Structure 1
Amino acid sequence: MSTVLHSLIGSLKKCVLYIKENRLFGIPLKYIMCVFLLFIVAIIIGFHSVYDKKAASTVVIEIKPGMQTVQIASLLKDKGIIYHDIYFRVLANIEGLDKELKVGRYVLHKNMTDSEVMQLLISGPRVSIVKITIPEGYTVEQIADLLAENGVVDRDKFLALAKTYVPYDYMKNSNPYIRYAVEGYLFPDTYEFRIDSSAKYVMDVMTGQFNRKFNETLRNRAGNLGLSVNSVVIMASLVEAEAKFNEDRPVIAQVFFNRLKINMPLQSDTTIQYALMHRKASISIKDTKMDSPYNTYKHYGLPPGPVDNPGLASLKAVLYPEKNDYLYFVADSSGHNHYSHTYQEHLNKIKNLN
């Protein structure tokens, strides 16, 4: 084995020596080999860039005036669109395109090749469509963040309009403490929006979807129960935040009705979370004593307005609650709720769950 190894090493040394001392067409072989090796490396990098992409997902980037190719390449790499910023810059330089990249917002996908990205940036921004899913239970501010991250709206303009936007009469709420007039009515669903849409257009679409989903049948049901649309939405927003599983929604809705009937505070942690304006892992005793109209430990009845945007299942749970005489519930580690009639029974269940 050692003889074979020594023989191989000897052959490699002869090869290296031959490359150093000989020429091809008057050019030293060592230079030709260097160029050849660089060419092979470029092919490998290019192949990796084309075929080893991440799973396709949408990314919105903005090319601003004055940005150089090096900055654009770095941005694309940071967003996961390209793997090798140096290769992208070399490609732009070789093709003579580094001076033609146009400013604007672009919707890119992580499975695009470097050449496809390059051609899109050269052709300029188009009217691009982004598909976005708004989860049930998102607040107006969370929706604004999600839309802004995807380049659909300007976050500040969206939130400013959300304070006063009331396209339907049943949305009107005279309570002076509501944070956003549109809270609760931005229906959770999957939408397709254009990049740089107006805040009003997006709200028109989302509240219009609420208006279709919360149809005449459901509105008549609310009227028969003596409930306004606004009170249904407020209650549904609490149910949405408290229930992880559909089977719990109508039970929890009835628990809240039971508390209201005997003039017991709703004592919903989710209203405290909303009042705090940031979510905490758990609510403290001090939090339950905070001075806020949204504090349902301190104030009786419904909070001033919805605390999130509920889905259809939670809205229907309020309109068709499951009759029971429970007053308390607590969720286990998996999110399933356990119900009690008395406070002592409630404490025992908490102890057993822990």
Structure 2
Amino acid sequence: MSEGFVEEKVFRRGRRIAVDVGDARIGVAVCDPDGLIATPVETVPAGGRSQARLKAIVEEYDAIEVVVGLPRSLNGKEGPAAAKVRAYAGRLAMLVYPVGVRLVDERMTTVTAAAGLRASGRSSKKGRSVIDQAAAVVILQAALETERCTAPPPGQCADRGPSPAVSRSPRGPRAPAPPHGPRSHARRRRPAVTDPYTAPGLTPGHLGAPVLEPEAAPPGLPYGVEPPDPGRLRTGAACCLSVAGLFGVLAAAAVALFLVWPEGKKPAPDFVGVGTGRVQVSVAQGASITQIGRTLTAKHVVASVRAFTEAAAKSPAGDRIHPGTYTLKEKMPAVAALNMLLDPSNANALTIPEGWRTTQVYTAIDTRLGLAAGTTKGIAEQHLADLGLPASADGHPEGYLFPATYPVTGDSTPLTLLQEMVKEADTQLDGDAVKDAAANNNISPYGLLAVASLAQAEADNPEDMAKVARVVYNRLAKNMPLQLDSTINYALGRSTLTTTVDDTRLDSPFNTYAHPGLPPTPIGNPGRDALRAAIHPADGDWLYFVTVQPGDTRFTDSSDQQRKNVDEFNAHRAQNPSPTPSDPSPVVP
């Protein structure tokens, strides 16, 4: 038997959510924190908003994992239904990350649930939603027992006794092999969906735990392969038989469950009437329905989180609450509170559009807070050290006033709003993706922010932004001047398509006709799409681009073709002398 560490697979305490995905409905179940008993939650209508509701349920129960039933035929084959569930689980994993999503075998669960319903004397038509919830209960209970079967008590390695403190080989000390379970997060990358047919329980492909390449494998064996352990094989076989028998027990339990199944779950606590008093509630950018519900409950606006999330789930626009500060009443019915939050006119907020320059942001803050023109600019200059800018910005806020909607309260000041914007920009720029993309293109992370601002200024859709970013990187790699009119416009404080020969001779470090490389700072405040374009530029050899007319942006690596495209651009300009200021400008050879 080979030596080395084997991770202790201990059952993780915490609630788990199970879903039974159907074409029309999705049954949902939850277990207690100890993972002993699965109980029904609700039935969610299938469709575009179903995953948002599932995310809210995950947050409401503070779940540590989502278990998705994967339908297979009795012979173990997967059909179109399984493919749909796999795709659905993949999208759900991205939405609920970093909560894990795991696929488990769910053969015959709906049949078992229907049989239980018939045994309780109810019509199948009336109990369809109950069947879906019951199927989720069976799925979750089976997954819990399977995981417990593969998780020995703490302190004992799976079928091997206590783990050694150090692994040694005849050649001397050897580095311990990496853990085989999902609980090593040293190299977390991206969400994934665990496939139940590679290993029972929580497999190495579990969300947030990509498989790590084993180190120091025994000579003559490929990575990750160990000599078979007869004792482990016997125990594994016994465990599989136990799991197989478990499904029979679960089927009987499901029948018994439906004999006493309640006609409906207890309604969530809710207030009645019109409410009293006044209270301010702030909704942050990106807040989920559950998070908003918790805030409302803490402020005594609604009686319970569930009453609010259920009201939102029933509303066609329930997930379209705008960020901002709202004036509500205490002890309001959940539906009444939701309706007030769904009206954007009730939101006291400040929205910064993507691509706005710092001067525009300053003016907007002055206007929103009713201050004299120039107040925010003066405060920003006086409190540069308090804005939270990184050292690389060298005291320049441009690029760090992140475009978003920010709540405005009676306590809001120019300084607090600017600090929120810088903090949000730091959040967006934090991570290995920005550093890696910058290194791959031989620029600094601050330079990448400048590239994003150029893409934001030169394009009006994510696809073209990614291409513009590629043009910038290609020209930098060839030591070609960028020759972007947007940088001259920034230096002159204007926005126009008209760039003259004299303009290209402007004495400014932002003149990318006269100065090689990137401008000294970003030329605006890029949004998420522009940042994504700078991090993940499109593939191509382009060196030039021009928007001949709205919706017709052409990219090429040929100077001759570019001249033809520019001629068409000028002809279109002659026929349409009043272009919109936001139209991107051409890059000429």
Q: TM-score range by the shorter chain?
A: 0.5 to 0.7
Residue number in structure 1 paired with 2:374: 156
**Which residue does 2:392 correspond to in 1?**
172
Q: Could you report, residue by residue, the CA deviation over 1:192-234 in whole angstroms, capped at 9, with x for unpaired residues?
A: 1235732221111111111222232433434542432211111
Residue 202, structure 1, aligned to residue 417, structure 2: yes
Which one is further off, 282-291 or 150-159?
Answer: 150-159
How far the C-alpha of 1:310 sits from its partner, in A, is 0.2
Q: Deviations over 1:48-84 (max 9, x none)?
A: xxxxxxxxxxxxxxxxxxxxxxxxxxxxxxxxxxxxx
Q: Percent identity?
A: 31
Alignment-derived partner of residue 233 in structure 1: 449
Matched letter for residue 156 of structure 1: G
Residue 251 (structure 1) aligned with residue 471 (structure 2): no
Q: Which residue of 1 aligns with 2:352?
A: 134
Verify the 8 A CA contact 1:151 1:196 in the aligned structure 2.
no
- Unpaired stretches in structure 1, ≥5 consecutive residues: 1-106, 108-127, 175-179
The counterpart of 1:193, out of the listed 395, 408, 422, is 408
Which residue in 2 is equivalent to 1:79? none
CA contact (8 A) 1:244 1:336 kept: no
Give 2:520's aligned residue. 304
Per the alignment, do residues 168 and 253 of structure 1 end up closer, same or farther by CA in structure 2, a change over 3 Å counting? Answer: same
1:271 aligns with 2:487: yes
SS of 1:263's equivalent in the other structure is: coil
Q: What corresponds to 2:496 in structure 1?
A: 280
Q: Does 1:215 align with 2:434?
A: no
Q: CA, structure 1 residues 209+153, in 2 after alignment: closer, same or farther (shift >3 Å)?
A: farther
Query: Match for residue 566 of structure 2?
Result: 350
Aligned pair in 2 of structure 1 residues 320, 142: CA closer, same or farther (>3 Å)?
same
TM-score, normalization by structure 1: 0.58
Does the CA contact (< 8 Å) of 1:258 and 1:326 recur in 2? yes
Please provide the CA RMSD for this pair: 2.5
Aligned partners of 2:548 and 2:568 also within 8 Å: no
**Alpha-carbon spacing, 1:195–1:280, altered in 2? closer, same or farther (3 Å):** farther
Q: 1:147 to 1:221 in 2, by over 3 A?
A: same
Output one character per residue of 1:114-138: Cα deviation in whole Å (capped at 9) or x when no partner. xxxxxxxxxxxxxx97312211000
Query: How far has the Cα of 1:336 moved from its partner?
Result: 3.5
Contact 2:450–2:518 (8 Å) recurs in 1: yes
TM-score (norm 2): 0.36
Structure with greater contact order relative to length (CA < 8 Å, sep ≥ 6):
1
Q: Distance in 1 between matches of 2:485 and 2:411?
A: 36
SS at 2:488's partner residue? helix
Equivalent residue number for residue 181 of structure 1: 396
Matched residue, 2:122:
none
* Distance in 1 of aligned mates of 2:352 and 2:520: 23
Deviation of the 1:342 alpha carbon: 2.3
* 8 Å Cα contact 1:130/1:193 also seen in 2: yes
Question: Equivalents in 2 of 1:324, 1:181: separation in Å?
Answer: 32
One-letter identity of the residue aligned with 2:384:
Y
Cα distance change of structure 1 residues 236 and 154 upon mapping to structure 2, 3 Å threshold: farther
1:72-87 equivalent positions in 2, closer than 5 A = none
CA distance in 1, matches of 2:451, 2:372: 30
Output the amino acid matched with 2:490.
Answer: Y
Shift of 1:146: 1.6
Q: Offset of 1:169 from its aligned partner?
A: 6.2
Superposed displacement of residue 191, structure 1: 1.1
Structure 2 residue corresponding to 1:145, chosen from 329, 346, 363: 363
Instruction: Give the count of matched residue pairs.
Output: 223
- Once residues 369 and 487 of structure 2 are traced to their aligned partners in structure 1, the CA distance between those partners, rounded to angstroms, is 30
**Structure-1 residue corresponding to 2:304:** none
Distance 1:160 1:229 in 2: 28
Q: Report the Cα distance in structure 1 between the residues aligned to 2:450 and 2:370, rounded to whole angstroms.
A: 27
For structure 1, which segment, 191-200 or 303-312, has the greater mean C-alpha deviation from structure 2 after superposition?
191-200
Q: Deviations over 1:134-163 (max 9, x none)?
A: 110000111112222222655423223444
The residue that corresponds to 1:41 in the other structure is none
Structure 2 unmatched ranges of 5 or more: 1-324, 326-345, 572-589
Partners of 2:422 and 2:437 in 1: how far apart?
A: 18
